[in-house]
Amino acid sequence: MKELKILAVLVFFTLLTYWGIEPFAYSKMHKSVAYTDFVYSDLPALAKVGDAKRGEVLVKGAGACLGCHGIKSQGLLPPMGPNAAAASFGVNPPDLSDVGTLFDQRFLAELIKNPVKALMLEHKFDGKTKFFPMPAFAGAGGDKNQEVADMVAYLKSIAPKDVSAKDAFTVSCGRCHANRYGDWTQIGFVPKTKSNIITNKDVDLLKFKIKTAEYQADLAKYMGKLPPDLSIMIRARSEDFMKTFVENPGSQLKGTAMPRVGLTKEGYKKVKSYLEETGDPSKSAREALGPWVIGFFVIFTILALLWKRSIWKELH
């Protein structure tokens, strides 16, 4: 009886700590911030229905998007490589093939009209002394809202319905953040070498490393600091922090240089799953091992029981 009472007291305090004290302490240490499930209600809804055909003409013409961005899925390469881009803009403008799926359409429309507002970077680029490298679309002579809606419609029309987790990460975060565990640096995936003798591949790797270092130097100048490697960020920060931060970086880090990236909820899920996958690469192997371990214990228990019985049989 005494043992049972001790157990009850123990269980009581364990549960109290788990459900009462720990969450309370957490809520005191982390401020809770507004979170809207990646709905950008501070931005106006699209007033016009876009026409993808007209949008294509604008994106490739008056919109000037191709002056800085590539659209690989349409066979349109970027006008310059990541290093030259970082030297002129501070950062490499992302490929636009997937943005129609990854990013919210209100966000995209505002980004074209007024990038600094969409990206929530008004505190960094005042438009008088400090200018954001992507210009606001001035209009092509017609109804500007219609033209913007047309370009968004075009970007949506060419984007695949399903973007891979890896692409979601490289397009929305990869120009600023490396991911060591995923072999990603801001300029691309690290070339693989495995020989222990020096080959041309090692020369490629060295060149790649030099280019990465140069890119990172330009990026750090543009951002004020080098954005952190995201390999284990998903484990270091809570789930709640990650989603509120990506939805609105300023809500967690006031005055931060990281822009609001404008992901849709699904887009964010993709990025998150990529970070989980690379941050904990042995997870699936570990989970696959589980049933085997349980199976081992079941068989072991049965054998032990049989053995015990056979010994006791002899004693009686």
Residues that bind ligand HEC (rule: CB under 6 A) add up to a total of: 42
Please, which of residues 124-153 interact with ligand HEC by CB under 6 A?
133-135, 137, 151
Cα distance between residue 182 and residue 219, in whole Å:
20
Please, which of residues 271-290 interact with ligand HEC by CB under 6 A?
271
C-beta closer to ligand HEC: residue 29 or 311? 29
- CA-wise closest residue to 259 among 138, 94, 149: 94
Distance of CA 127 to the CA centre of its chain: 28
Please, which of residues 2-61 interact with ligand HEC by CB under 6 A?
none
Half-sphere exposure of 160 (CA within 13 A, CB side): 12
Radius of gyration of the chain (CA): 27
C-beta closer to ligand HEC: residue 21 or 253? 253
Question: Pattern 82-121, binding to ligand HEC, x per CB under 6 A?
Answer: -------x-x-xx-x--x---x-------xx---------
C-beta closer to ligand HEC: residue 193 or 251? 251
Q: Dihedral sign for Cα 72, 221, 240, 109, please.
A: negative
C-beta closer to ligand HEC: residue 177 or 211? 177
Per rule CB under 6 A, is residue 158 in the interface with ligand HEC?
Answer: no
CB of 221 within 8 A of CB of 206? no
Among 208, 257, 269, 273, contact with ligand HEC (rule: CB under 6 A): 257
Residues in the chain: 316
Per rule CB under 6 A, is residue 261 in the interface with ligand HEC?
Answer: yes
**Least distance from ligand HEC to the Cβ atom of residue 198, Å:** 35
- CA-wise closest residue to 50 among 96, 109, 2, 95: 109
Per rule CB under 6 A, is residue 165 in the interface with ligand HEC?
Answer: no
Cα distance between residue 39 and residue 135, in whole Å:
25
Distance of CA 209 to the CA centre of its chain: 23
Q: Dihedral sign for Cα 140, 141, 145, 149, please.
A: negative
Residues in the site for ligand HEC, rule: CB under 6 A?
A: 63-65, 67-69, 89, 91, 93-94, 96, 99, 103, 111-112, 133-135, 137, 151, 172-173, 175-177, 223, 227-228, 230, 233, 237, 245-246, 253, 256-259, 261-263, 271
